[in-house]
DNA sequence: TGCATATATAAGCATATACTTATATACTGA
DNA sequence: TCAGTATATAAGTATATGCTTATATATGCA
């Protein structure tokens, strides 16, 4: 019972974070592959600090993980998160963001890292 | 493509509304049966204006429908909503709220209406 | 018609949110 | 060691949010 209440609150916290165009797009991009900050900046056409602040919210909530690779920090979905089942389902419902990454690639702006 | 963008935004709008403990609980209650405002007030232990304001947001977004039955106004899920598939899935993930309605019933506070 | 009940709305306020610009930190490579 | 790139953080600000109290509206019933 106590646990149940927590689950509802955890779900609400996650949904609140997903309930923003920028963050939902970020999560949609991460569904397909890990990305670094500068890629988000390019795709979202937003300032770097703004993107970083959104990523921090997602990370603070445990929805994404980060991993440094050289000068870049790559973000990826945290599939271990308590609410990941809901997240995955949401990401399956929204339009695929792959195309945006492909456009980046064609523009030569996709970060390739072999580490 | 244009449509896809709208879908993401519509999803974000819905998730933002669900990303609040009060509204998520309301939707969880409506999953099981229609309810009137005074029932929400009782279950949520919140002021009537506050509850009404949350319901208005849900209604303005089209997530719930309202129907007057005598002096009461009953709310129910709008299963026709564009984002209803996501909503239903979310409501399946959170703990069942039926028990709260049962408690109301035992306290003799459940509104019965034969209209 | 008039009072009680149910609900909605308005106005006010404290806090949260999402940007901005400026600056700090961390890594890379010459 | 130093310049350049990537990222994070801080501070400021405008707007959004969620409550409160007060009041308006709609219905039921005597």
Residue A4 has pLDDT above 80, yes or no: no
What mean pLDDT, rounded, does chain A reach? Answer: 91
Name which of A8, A13, A90 is nearest B11 (Cβ-Cβ): A90
How many CB atoms neighbour CB A12 within 10 A? Answer: 22
So what's the pLDDT on residue A79? Answer: 97
Residue A111 lies in a domain: no
Residue B111 lies in a domain: no
Buried b / exposed e over B39-63, threshold 16 CB at 10 Å, is bbbbbbeeeeeebeebbeebeebbb
Q: Are B55 and B75 in contact (CB under 8 A)?
A: yes
B-chain residues within 8 Å CB-CB of A28?
8
Residue B10 lies in a domain: yes
- Spell out residues with C-beta < 7 A from strand D: A 36-38, 41, 48-49, 52-53, 55-56, 66, 71-74; B 16, 20, 22, 46-47, 49-50, 53-54, 57, 68, 70-71
What totals of helices (H) and strands (E) does chain B contain, helices first?
6, 3
Tell me which of A103-107, B7-11, B32-36, B51-55 is least confident. Answer: A103-107
Residue A114 lies in a domain: no
So what's the pLDDT on residue A3? Answer: 52
Residues B11-21: what's their mean pLDDT?
Answer: 98
- For residue A79, CA distances in Å to A34, A85, B18, B65, B98 come to 13, 8, 21, 35, 30
Quick one: pLDDT band at residue B5, thresholds 50, 70, 90?
very low
Residue B38 lies in a domain: yes
Whole-angstrom distance, CA of residue B51 vs CA of residue B71: 17
- Angle (deg, nearest 10), helices B84-93 and A84-93: 170
Q: Are A78 and A84 in contact (CB under 8 A)?
A: yes
Quick one: pLDDT band at residue B108, thresholds 50, 70, 90?
confident
Quick one: pLDDT band at residue A112, thresholds 50, 70, 90?
low
Residue A112 lies in a domain: no
DSSP state of A78: -
Distance from CA of B21 to the nearest CA of A (A): 6
CATH number at residue A16: 1.10.10.10
Whole-angstrom distance, CA of residue B68 vs CA of residue B65: 10
Any bridge partners for residue A36, and if so which?
A: A74
Residue B22 lies in a domain: yes
Its domain, for residue B25, covers: 2-105
Provide the domain count of chain A. Answer: 1
Tell me which of A6-10, A52-56, B35-39 is least confident. Answer: A6-10
């Amino acid at each position: 019972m106590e646990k149940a209440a927590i689950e509802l609150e955890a779900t609400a916290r996650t949904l609140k974070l997903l309930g923003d165009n920028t963050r939902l797009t970020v999560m949609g991009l991460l569904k397909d592959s890990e990305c670094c900050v500068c890629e988000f900046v390019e795709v979202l056409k937003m300032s770097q600090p703004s993107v970083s602040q959104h990523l921090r919210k997602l990370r603070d909530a445990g929805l994404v993980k980060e991993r440094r690779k050289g000068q870049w920090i790559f973000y990826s979905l945290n599939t271990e998160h308590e609410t990941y089942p809901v997240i995955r389902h949401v990401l399956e419902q929204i339009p695929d963001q792959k195309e945006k990454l492909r456009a980046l690639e064609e523009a030569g702006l996709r970060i390739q890292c072999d580490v």
